[in-house]
Structures are given as C-alpha cells and as structure tokens.
Structure 1
Amino acid sequence: MSLIGKKLGALQPTDLSADLPLPLYLQLAKHLRAQITSGKLGANESLPAERELAEFLNVSRVTVRKALGVLAKEGLLSNRQGSGWFTNSSPYVEQRLSTLTSFTEDMQSRGLNAGVSWLDRTVSAATPEETLLLNLRPGERVSRLNRLRLAGDKPLCIELSVLPVKYLPDPFAVQGSLYGHLRELGAAPFRALQRLSAVSLIADLAGKLDLPEGAPALYIERRTFLKDGAPLEFVSSHYRGDAYDFVVELALA
C-alpha cells in the first residue's frame, strides 16, 4: 500500500461522489473526521500534501483545502507552517444515555484515567434559577463545583455542578467521583433528566478545552433526583464535539 493509502486507511476515490447531495468537501471532511476520532489516524500524525490528497481522491485542491479547513475549525487538525497538516491528539468517548453514571465511572469503564482540574469550589446562596431548579427556599445555600474533566491529561469537558448544602455540605471533601461521595453521604443519585444542544465555544471555554474559539461542542443541562423525587443536583456541561458521542437506544412501543 502506498504512503497515502496507509495514512488514509480504506479511503478510495469512489468514496466521494458528486451525485450525493452533500458537497464533496463535506464528504471528505466527514470521512477524515471518522478516521481521526476512531484512532485510524493517530495523534500528531501527518497527512499527505494537499496536492497528493487531491490526486489520490480525484478531486480539486480547493475541495481538499476546504475539507481540511472544516476539521481545523473543529480542532481535529492543525496546519504547521512549513510542515503541513497534522492530526491533533484527542481521546474519543461514546456514552449511552440509558444509564446514570458519573464522568469518573464513564472513564474507568473504558480503562481511561479520569482526571480533574478544579476551576472553583464555593458555598453561597442559590441564584433564582438554581432555587427554582432545585426546589429550594429563597436564600438557601448551595455547593458549586466547577471542574475541567480530563481523560489522562486531555481535557474533555467543563462541568459545573450545583447541589443543596444539605446533600453536599463541603465541596472540598469531593476528591474523586462526586456520585461516589454522595452515595457515601446517603444521597445516592437515582434518576436524571438531560437536555442536549449543539453550541460554538466562546474563547474562554475553548481555551480551557484546548480548542479554537468557535469550535463545536455539546452543551448539556442535567437535573439529578433522589429516589424520593427530591432534586439533588443541577449540572451544566460543555463537552468537546470532536471527542464525545452520546448514544440513545430506542425500542418500538
């Protein structure tokens, strides 16, 4: 197999078709994205030159350049001056939404080392929105945990958890899994409601996730409840769009 064939795996010129409704450059971007996130193209691996890619795929260099530009905006590729295009290092995680697990438990189940970089931990009065979401009385206090969640040393998401102090009196006592700590305190999470939406990262969040400003992300809001139905936690998270897939299993009624 040629060098280009080795770097692009099973990609063949016939994989791209002008007869499809998706433009050629987006077809190519989709394929390369899958190659990177699946690990077929390793971290910091160089791509063939734009001219070689265009010849191999039988498309124009403009098509190749536009496809690579799409992936660069997503943070999957970087263009090093004088050296060409390289893949960026990013873990890839697929999470099913049918079970309620913590980030730490998700990573451990995949054999990954869950890490955390604390951005802030505070106890203060609940905001009006938090008061409503957590069914609190005005002026009640909450614990807030703002964390950068890591797989190994790679940032995957920024997560802000808010809990009534009656369930988490000391946010500094959380060392590993928050849900594991809550179970030890007798406040085991039982069920949750989640809402997902696609967003573009503002500069501050993008910088923390090692992504360019405007990179795509998944924004998730979750309300977690105890077995008796009492609200336990409100979480807002920004997940890297290039590293996380959420999977839902559906069945006919």
Structure 2
Amino acid sequence: MSVAAFLKPEDWFRPDGGPRYVQLRQRLSEGVSTGLLLPGNPLPPEREIAAITDLSRVTVRKAIQSLAEAGVIVQKQGSGSFIASKPEQIEQKLSRLTSFSEDMARRGKVSTSRWLERGLFMPSPDEMTSLGLTSEEQVARITRLRLADGEPIAIERASLPTDILPNPLVVDTSLYETLERDGHRPVRALQKISAINLAERDAHLLAISPRDAGLRIERTSYLSSGRVAEFTQSTYRGDAYNFIAELRLSRE
C-alpha cells in the first residue's frame, strides 16, 4: 500500500473520533509500527499530507510536531521530516540488581530522563501493600521517561517510604546512586514480568502505537536488613528490551 492510500481519510478519520491532529498522529504512528513508514524514510511534505487527508496544514503540522516531541519523527532543518530509527535492542540479565543509568553506562549509551511526576503523595493501595504504609503516611514517588541515546525505552514509576527518600527532588540521574549515598541502596529484589498491550498515553511517551506490545515489570527491592525499600512499576517497549535469565540444571 502506498503512503497516499494509507492516509486516505475514509479509512481512519471519524468526525466524532476526537481532535483531528490526534487522529492523524495515531494514523502516522500506525504506519510506523506496521512498517509502511520505514525508519530513515522521509514523510511526505505537509502540504501533500493536507491534500491527501483533507485536513488543514495547521492540523498536519500539529500532528507532526507531536510525533517529533515523542521521538517518532525527526525534523531536519531544510530537509523535512523523517521517520526516526528504531532503538537498538538492549539485553538485560535478570541476575543483577542494577539501575537503568548503570545498565546504559555499561553499554556505552547516554541515559537521560524526562520527569513526569516527582514529589510526596498519599499512597495508593498497591503502594501501601508493597511498602507497608498506612493510609495516613506519605510516599515518595518519582515517575520518569527513560531514554538511551535519546530514544525512549521505558516509563519508570518508583515509590519509596519517606524515611528512605525524604526529598524526591534530590534524585538527579540515578535513584540508586542517591540511595547508596544515604546508605539505603537495595541489595536484592523480586521482579514480576508481564506481557501487555500499551495504553494510549504510555504508547505516546514511548513513541510507538497504542496496543503495541510492551513489558510490564513490577519490582520490590529490599535492604540488607530485609526491609522493603522500593516498589517500582516499569513499562518497557517490547521492541527495545530483551531480558535474559541463565538457567542451570537442578541436581535435586
């Protein structure tokens, strides 16, 4: 199918389907995830997309800008817009308790974060259960979009007791570096990994299409004393991360 045929509005646009630029953004994202719009290839010019879709150039520009902010599209001055390259798949061993920043540094990648939420909050039921908090206590919560060499990889939502992390604003790049400095770095953890289809908001942050495959990881980390120090819920791109576990034959 040609790009022009794919963008014909009768196949995807609905008058009651929400903002026009959002519907166009979702259609372009679908073209990327299905392989019709390949990494490195240029998008048609804005005026051409406007003519194909019967949308205004303002609407088309807003959709493209939204995709550029999410990392799906790269805009080059004087050259137009191009489909961003897919991130190199990252392999992570499950036998080590490390931070995202440490993982990326070992691979020679530059890790960065975009803060989505950071502060002290009333705990959710999951946080109360996992961290042993009461409904009257507060929880330190930090939520970040994690990127490797500028590519969005994961959304990380970490929750900690306030005596372990009294001020979430002191976390700069690595949470574990901050905890280690204060003598609270976890020494072991339990993880649960589940396959999911990404919700629209998370898919947009991770620069892929809604309902694309992802990984949901819940991690409960412990101090050497056995106390729970951290409860983290992370969402990873399914096309960017592989988790590896080494298995040995049991002699029992």
Using structure 2 for the length normalisation, give the TM-score: 0.67
In the alignment, which of 33, 39, 45 is matched to residue 75 of structure 1? 33
Question: Which of 110, 126, 133 pairs up with 1:136?
Answer: 133
Partner SS state of residue 144, structure 1? strand
Once residues 32 and 165 of structure 2 are traced to their aligned partners in structure 1, the CA distance between those partners, rounded to angstroms, is 37
Match of 2:160 in 1: 163
Deviation at 1:128, TM superposition (A): 2.4
- Match in the other structure for 1:100: 97
Amino acid aligned to 2:33: G
State yes or no: 1:227 paired with 2:224.
yes
Where does residue 235 of structure 2 map in the other structure?
Answer: 238
Asked if 1:190 corresponds to 2:148, the answer is no
**Which deviations, in whole Å up to 9, do the C-alpha atoms of 1:54-95 show, x marking residues without a partner?**
xxxxxxxxxxxxxxxxxx68837342777xxx7843132000
Does residue 247 in structure 1 map to residue 244 in structure 2? yes
The residue matched to 2:239 in structure 1 has which SS?
Answer: coil
Give 1:141 deviation, angstroms.
1.1
C-alpha change, 1:78 and 1:122, in structure 2 (3 Å) is farther
What aligned pairs does 1:33-182 form with structure 2 within 5 A after superposition?
75=33, 77-79=35-37, 88-182=85-179
CA contact (8 A) 1:113 1:151 kept: yes
Does 73-82 or 214-223 show the bigger shift? Answer: 73-82
| Structure 1 unaligned spans of 5+ | 1-71
Aligned length: 182
After the TM superposition, which segments of 4 or more aligned residues of structure 1 sit over 6 Å from their partners? none
Q: Which amino acid aligns with 1:104?
A: S
Q: Supply the distance in 1 between the matched residues of 2:175 and 2:36 (Cα, whole angstroms).
A: 35
Q: Which amino acid aligns with 1:149?
A: R
Mapped contact 1:77–1:88 kept (Cα < 8 A): no
Residues 87, 162 of structure 1: CA spacing in aligned structure 2 closer, same or farther, 3 A cutoff?
A: closer
The normalised TM-score by structure 1 is: 0.67
Aligned-CA RMSD value: 2.3
Q: Once the 2 structures are TM-superposed, how far is the Cα of residue 229 of structure 1 from its aligned partner? A: 0.8
Which AA in structure 1 matches 2:168? P
2: CA distance between counterparts of 1:108 and 1:226? 24
Name the % identity: 40
Q: 1:76 to 1:234 in 2, by over 3 A?
A: farther
